[in-house]
Amino acid sequence: MIALLRIVVVAIFAVLMFIFGCGYCLLSPRNPKNVFVIGRLFSRIAGVLGYKLHLRLPEDAYERGQHLYIANHQNTWDLFTVSAAVTPKVVTVGKKSLLWIPLFGQIYWLTGNILIDRFNRTKAVGTIEQVIQKMKESDLSVWMFPEGTRSRGRGLLPFKTGAFHTAVGAGVPIIPIVCSTTQGKLHLNKWNNGHVIVEMLPPISTEGCTKADVRKLATQCRNEMKEKLAELDAEVDKLNAGGK
């Protein structure tokens, strides 16, 4: 019964988001501010799913300059958890195939996010260069998922280098964002699905880095995120055991 109720609520939410979101974005289509507004609205559904969402951002998170954000990518539920950490003037980079997902795909494009053809290396590389150029010509920040696909309980997957080429090329720091493990922890028939922590880590400088440093930079970021993920998972276990 709880599962049915949740499915109905999420379905209604999706339809309302499509109507409101598309209407709102059409007032200023492809404007980066749309990503922040819509992202925060999507994160509100975490409570409906039975999650207690804890968002940890530094005090100056909304006042920082240009950065490249990276986050772990676990499953579809990231839409309702990690999205809470989106800050103003940030757009994401996603697969071109997202455009064909009913409701979500249209909002994703209208909000100003960037779509790349991940299966066409030439087009993908060209898009990365366009992103770098766009960042250099504006104060726009970019959010990417360096794993390239959803991990689905396989831990933190190896990082692809596109995000790090972008950061080095644009000359901006990298800010990792880590969400505690949600894979396998969502049970639609349970009211309480426990705690989820989303934390923004300190910036990692790319100053003085070149293309030769990209792989080393990716390894450094992945190691820091992997360590933080383990810490958050341990903390979530304690919170869930305490029933708080």
pLDDT of residue 94: 79
167-175 mean pLDDT? 97
Arithmetic mean of pLDDT, 2-11: 90
Q: Please, which pLDDT band fits residue 124 given cuts at 50, 70 and 90?
A: low
User: Contact, 72 vs 225, CB < 8 A?
Assistant: yes
Beta-carbon-side half-sphere exposure of residue 141 (alpha carbons within 13 Å): 23
Query: Which of 92-96, 114-118, 182-186 is predicted most confidently?
Result: 182-186
- Mean pLDDT (the chain, rounded): 91
Integer Cα distance of 93 and 113 in angstroms: 6
* pLDDT tens readout for residues 60-87: 999 888 999 999 999 989 999 999 999 9
- How many domains are contained in the chain? 1
Cβ atoms of 168 and 117 closer than 8 Å: no
- Orientation angle between helical segments 2-27 and 33-43, nearest 10 degrees: 170
Q: Tell me the residue range of the domain where 52 lies.
A: 2-242
pLDDT at 111 over 70: yes
Which residue, among 94, 83, 100, has the nearest Cα to 131 in the 3D structure?
Answer: 94
For residue 234, is pLDDT > 90? Answer: yes
Residue 19 confidence class, pLDDT cut points 50, 70, 90: confident
Tokens for 195?
């705690």
pLDDT at 127 over 80: no
What is the predicted pLDDT for the residue at 224? 98
SS3 label, residue 106: helix
DSSP state of 238: H
At 178, the pLDDT band (50, 70, 90 cuts) reads: very high
Angle, helices 162-170/214-242, rounded to nearest 10 degrees: 110
In this prediction, what percent of the chain has a pLDDT beyond 90?
63
State the CATH number of the domain containing residue 52. 3.40.1130
Phi, psi of 172 (to 5 degrees): -120, 155
Q: Which helix (H) or strand (E) holds 32?
A: none
Q: Is the pTM of this model over 0.95?
A: no
Tell me the C-alpha distance between 215 and 204, whole Å: 14
SS3 152: coil
Beta strands at 195-200 and 174-179: parallel, antiparallel or unpaired: antiparallel
Calpha distance 77→84 (Å, rounded): 12
Distance from the first to the final alpha carbon of the chain: 24
Confidence of residue 225 (pLDDT cuts 50, 70, 90): very high
Burial 43-56 (b: 16+ CB within 10 A, else e): bebbeebbbbbbbe
